[in-house]
Amino acid sequence: MGAFYWSMKHVVLGPALKGVWRPRAKGVENIPPTGGAILAANHLSFVDSLFMPLMAPRDVVYLGKADYFDSWRTRWFFKAAGVIPVRREGGSAGEAAILAGIRALREGHVAGIYPEGTRSPDGRLYRGKTGVARMALEAQVPVIPVGIFGTPEIMPLDAKVPRMKGRPVIEYGKPLSFERFYDRPTDRFVLRSVTDEIMYEIMMITGQEYVDEYASKVKKQLSAEKAPPPPGAFTNDVLSSAEQEQGQPTPPRA
């Protein structure tokens, strides 16, 4: 990692975060002192990406869209957070991110990953996506399940800026080894099994209720429920109800 990351973590941003929110860490000894490894965590708040690497004894990299680095307003933050820019060229964004992660792990980096793929909409733990498993098997590295607590009090899902309250706790679990599957890094049944095992270990740390749905799907459903009805929908419903009360058939809607 570069000098910018080190200075932000140990001199500028890190001491400020520790001074204001007094984060605590458990199980830091479970992070291997050398070699590639994955920190797989639950995802509750935007500030998870600050506190999880801050409390780790090693530098942690993340994967993010290269677009984030195009603006000076966001470039400094993503550099400080150790984000590796991922370009879409040559394939889908998801595949590009996985390949970038595998390269970083093979180079000996510790990579932070949220298997859910997005922040939990309601504090529950959702089904993990199999990219974390593929990266672990392709790079042949251990996975450390991580439980993050208290960050929604600092910055809830709909907040624009952090609040001056809350005390986060980051708990690093025992490393998980999947050597038995190293010869099948693309088998979809193996990837699903490995991912489910990782999510189970995260759940055992956090105590969250597990939901066997993707968080992104649930977010779309919640957004659809909150969306205003289309023009005329209310009027049509009222007319239909009135006609039914009068015993008149309701013609089918177009």
Q: Where exactly are the structural domains of the chain? A: 3-213
User: How long is the chain?
Assistant: 254
Q: Quote the CA–CA distance of 24 and 20 in Å, as a whole number.
A: 12
More confident residue, 244 or 14: 14
**What global pTM score does this model have?**
0.84
Composition of the chain by helix, strand, coil, percent to 5: 45, 15, 40
Q: Which range is least confidently modeled, 106-120, 145-159, 167-181, 231-245?
A: 231-245
Q: What is the pLDDT of residues 12-56, one digit of tens each?
A: 889 999 999 999 999 999 999 999 999 999 999 999 989 999 999
Rounded to an integer, the average pLDDT of 238-250 is 45
Q: Give φ, ψ of 49 to 5 degrees.
A: -75, -5
pLDDT tens-digit series, residues 158-209: 899 999 999 999 999 999 999 999 999 999 999 999 999 999 999 999 999 9
The CATH label, of 3.10.580.10, 3.40.50.970, 3.40.1130.10, 1.10.287.3510, for the domain at 3-213 is 3.40.1130.10
b/e string for 10-46 if b means 16 or more Cβ within 10 A? eeebbeebeeebebebebeebbeeeebbbbbbbbbbb
